[in-house]
Amino acid sequence: MRAIEEAMATAQDGGDLEDPAEAPVPTGTDYAKALEEAYLSGAEDGVADESIGSDSDAVLDSDGSQDPLPEIDLDDLLLGASSQEGDGPVLNPYEEFGERIVWYRDSGLIMKPFTFPLGAGERVQALIQTHSGLSIHGAPVDNANMPAGAQPPGSVVLHLLNGQGAETFTPPRTPGVVKPRLVPLFDWLVVTAAPAEMRQIQRFIRAFISSARQIQVEAKIVELTTTKTSDYGIRPVDGVTPIFGLPNAGSLIHSVDFSFGNTVDIGEAIFGVSAVFDGVQFNALLEMISTDESASIISQPKVAVREGARAELIEVQQEPVMKLNAINANGQFTWTIAFRDVGVQLYVVPRIIGSNTLILDVDTEVSQITGTAATFIVTDSSGSSSTVGIPEVAKRRANTTVRLDAGQGLVIGGLISERTLQREKKVPLLGDMPLLGSIFKSRYQVQERTDVLFFIYPRILQGIDLNPEF
């Protein structure tokens, strides 16, 4: 027991130190080591361990006298051992701050580069100096005003390298070997700090500089087209029998024949009609067809854009058109082929107000070819002629500014176009007669209706990666 007391006293007073006040505070490991050494030393001296925990109140000394057992305050001993901090897990800075860091093991400092858009690094450096609350040891720009001396504990160094992030660029369509051009892409802000200060820097950047200012714009464009066609006509049964045959072959007009067939050659209803009225023979084929068509075109593009930038969602087809350059007094002209975009175009500029509110500037345009504005006869160098038409393009456009909260969407509709085409062929005078006039003419009619709907769903993208690959 004396060995145990001596070991515990040694652990508490610092052992052989001249000034016990300089002794470090014993830890739980020190107490355990002292107990182990006391046990081993007692076993070597031949002291019986049965006395510990036995029912006897005393042990015999070497001279036969009886000494009382020393009192040991086990509560204080256990409390002192349990109150000491153990060896906790050591955090790996590469796991916490990313792989692209430099870890100085001797000083415990970490150096890490942060990337910002070209020209924004200087503003970020100034913002951290004035509003982060950290002790700034130095804030050099490029290689000027580098801090001298060792970095004090708890301080931060902000080294700005303007345009340091750059890539080489070579135009892919340039023939031959071309010297690449160096294109600056972003600024580096190299931060050197201890882990605690580095965490504060990252939290500050997330909250005030690089917080999620990206918006995902998802659009669903639905185009509904409905077409109704009515087409009927009348034509002879064959090339020999006229439609109307008069009974008196010696009269001035002994037959009436015409052909106003419809525009469809297949998939039509054909009625053979023949009759005799007071010797007037009527033989004809009546062609009739009616069609209803409905088409739905759905596209669902999706794009992410930063706040204040323009997102373009374009689905167009380039239609060739004839472009007149000049016309002289003789009517001769020069022309070239140009291309015009025909289709759906959607432009969105989002802005964030507060944390979950969006302001959207939306501009939509729908265009389609509706007909031919003019035709020209073009003669090439060989003397052959051809007819070239200039298409007529109809545009429908809508723009608006709207405020949306989280989870809300925008619907733009009403971009409706209706087109009716009616073509009629008839025998003069006879085709205008009431009731009977229908058998002397043909009619083709098309009614087309197109409706375009835009469904826009914006969403603020959260989060930022402070450990990106360069």
Residue ranges per structural domain of the chain: 93-208, 229-293, 295-461
d(CA 287, CA 388): 32
Q: Using CB atoms within 10 Å of the CB of residue 125, give its burial: 0 to 12 exposed, 13 to 18 middle, 19+ buried.
A: buried
d(CA 129, CA 204): 11
Nearest to 197 by CA among 151, 165, 238: 151
Confidence of residue 52 (pLDDT cuts 50, 70, 90): very low
Tell me the average pLDDT across 190-201.
94
pLDDT at residue 37 greater than cutoff 70:
no
Residues pairing with 415 in the sheet: 452
Task: Report yes or no: 313 and 220 within 8 Å, Cβ to Cβ.
Answer: no
Nearest to 343 by CA among 420, 450, 458, 448: 450
Question: Each residue of 281-327: pLDDT tens digit?
Answer: 556 666 666 677 776 767 888 888 888 889 988 888 888 877 777 77
Residue 49's pLDDT is 44
- For the sheet containing 385-404, what is the strand order? 311-327, 333-353, 357-379, 385-404
Residue 161's pLDDT is 93
* Sign of the torsion angle spanned by Cα atoms 158, 159, 162, 166: negative
Tell me the average pLDDT across 450-464.
81
Residue 130's pLDDT is 92
Both tokens of 114, joined, read: 């942060």
DSSP states along 292-312: EEEEEEEE--EEEEETTSPEE
pLDDT at residue 278 greater than cutoff 60:
no
Residue 330's pLDDT is 72
Residue 173's pLDDT is 73
Does residue 110 sit in helix, strand or coil? Answer: strand
- Could you give phi then psi for residue 39, rounded to 5 degrees? -65, -45
Residue 195's pLDDT is 93
Residue 292's pLDDT is 72
pLDDT at residue 50 greater than cutoff 50:
no
Residue 86's pLDDT is 52
Residue 372's pLDDT is 75
* Sign of the torsion angle spanned by Cα atoms 242, 243, 247, 250: negative
pLDDT at residue 59 greater than cutoff 60:
no
Task: Report yes or no: 161 and 180 within 8 Å, Cβ to Cβ.
Answer: no
How many other C-beta atoms are found inside a 10 Å radius of the C-beta of residue 186?
A: 19
Those residues whose C-beta lies under 8 Å from the C-beta of residue 22, and which sit 6 or more positions away, are 14
* Sign of the torsion angle spanned by Cα atoms 10, 13, 17, 23: positive
Least confident of 119-133, 137-151, 291-305: 291-305
pLDDT at residue 239 greater than cutoff 90:
no
| Angle in degrees, 0-180, between the axes of helices 121-131 and 195-204, rounded to the nearest 10 | 110
Distance in angstroms between the alpha carbons of the first and the last residue of the chain: 66
Residue 355's pLDDT is 72
Confidence of residue 348 (pLDDT cuts 50, 70, 90): very high
Nearest to 378 by CA among 323, 340, 329, 318: 323
Question: Each residue of 362-385: pLDDT tens digit?
Answer: 998 888 777 777 777 766 667 677
Question: Each residue of 78-102: pLDDT tens digit?
Answer: 555 555 555 555 578 888 898 889 9
Q: How far is CA 67 from the centre of its chain?
A: 86
Higher pLDDT: 259 or 120? It is 120
Q: What is the mean pLDDT of the chain?
A: 74
Tell me the average pLDDT across 255-268.
57
